[in-house]
Amino acid sequence: MQQFFQTLVAGLAQGSIYGSLALALVLIYKATEVINFAQGEMAMFTTYISWALITHHGMSKWLAFPITLAIAFAFGVALQVVVVRPLARASVLTVVMATIALLVILNGLASWIWSPQLQFYPSLFPTSSWAIGGVHISWQDVGTLGVSIGCVAILGAFFRFTKIGLAMRAGALNPAAARLLGVRTSLLLALGWGFAAALGAVSGMMVAPTVFLTPNMMQAILIYAFAAAVLGGLESPVGAVIGGLALGVMLSMLTAYVGFVTSELQLPVALGVLLVVLLIRPAGIFGRVVVRRV
């Protein structure tokens, strides 16, 4: 039972990282129908920036965190304006190719600036653990879960309760109608990329202490995030977060209880499950099947 709870919390913590990156993917997909393949590398790059702020500029970890979020936000906005907006009339495939180009560019740039060597990334949380009734829960796990879910909740409240958040949802659903109501949709799209980049930065900074900082650190995480987003139905922000948590718990349970699933097998198993879910429910767990009259 102790092991079960420990595994559960660790899984939720991992899952919250997948979930926040998955949510970043869903935000952009809902607004533009583009899958941003560079989402992981954007997160990696901004995590390096936070690392440089902490280790090279002596900034405190807790100050570096919000500053990095702000930088990531500005980075996302700039990316939309400079790269994505000029391609607005191009096909979705063209934009997807541009994000893949960006993935490679950011990866190379990070190696060039900070060297491809593994770096130690200081955790925001103490390395000790917390014992309740014989169950040892690490602060790292609780902190990761809390920060990731907290950021997701803040974003959720923004979309639900603010005027701009509502306009962003409306603009994603029906851009033409939103523009007729005076909504500057291109401005809000840039804002959406900013939020997605900031959310990605959260996942990067949360995962870096456990996987260490390297230019390739987000590549497997991005695949888990894809899996989580698709599990959730790609169109559902709540689905993406729940998909991420479910995936995290499932993987940590499999490695803990199923002997032959080693960490090498985690990724294939995750994608195997993804395939099975898609065979049974092609629209994902929270996706809506759209029925159209033709």
Residues 180-239 that bind other proteins (CB under 8 A): 180-185
Closer residue to other proteins, CB minimum distance, 117 or 174: 174
Closer residue to other proteins, CB minimum distance, 157 or 276: 157
Closest contact distance (angstroms) between CB of 159 and other proteins is 11
Closer residue to other proteins, CB minimum distance, 92 or 177: 177
Closest contact distance (angstroms) between CB of 163 and other proteins is 7
Closer residue to other proteins, CB minimum distance, 58 or 182: 182
CA atoms within 13 A on the CB side of 294: 2
Compute how many residues bind other proteins; rule: CB under 8 A. 17
Residues 148-187 that bind other proteins (CB under 8 A): 163, 166-167, 169-170, 173-174, 176-185
d(CA 226, CA 211): 19
Collapsing DSSP to helix, strand or coil, 174 comes out as coil
Closest contact distance (angstroms) between CB of 97 and other proteins is 26
φ, ψ of residue 130 in degrees (nearest 5): -130, 120
CA atoms within 13 A on the CB side of 141: 21
Residues 27-66 that bind other proteins (CB under 8 A): none
Virtual torsion, Cα 45, 199, 19, 170, nearest 10 deg: -130
CA distances from 227 to 42, 57, 97, 224, 248 (A): 18, 37, 20, 5, 11
Closer residue to other proteins, CB minimum distance, 188 or 206: 188
Closest contact distance (angstroms) between CB of 152 and other proteins is 20
Characterize the bridge pairing of strands 129-132 and 135-138. antiparallel
d(CA 192, CA 189): 5
Closest contact distance (angstroms) between CB of 7 and other proteins is 37
Give the closest residue to 50 by CA, choosing from 37, 67, 33.
67
Give the closest residue to 211 by CA, choosing from 266, 261, 155.
266
Closer residue to other proteins, CB minimum distance, 200 or 237: 237
Closer residue to other proteins, CB minimum distance, 93 or 180: 180
Q: Are 196 and 76 in contact (CB under 8 A)?
A: yes
Q: Are 245 and 149 in contact (CB under 8 A)?
A: no
Closest contact distance (angstroms) between CB of 185 and other proteins is 8
Closest contact distance (angstroms) between CB of 229 and other proteins is 19
Residues 87-126 that bind other proteins (CB under 8 A): none
- Strand stretches in 13-157, DSSP E: 129-132, 135-138
Task: Point out which residues bind other proteins (CB under 8 A).
Answer: 163, 166-167, 169-170, 173-174, 176-185
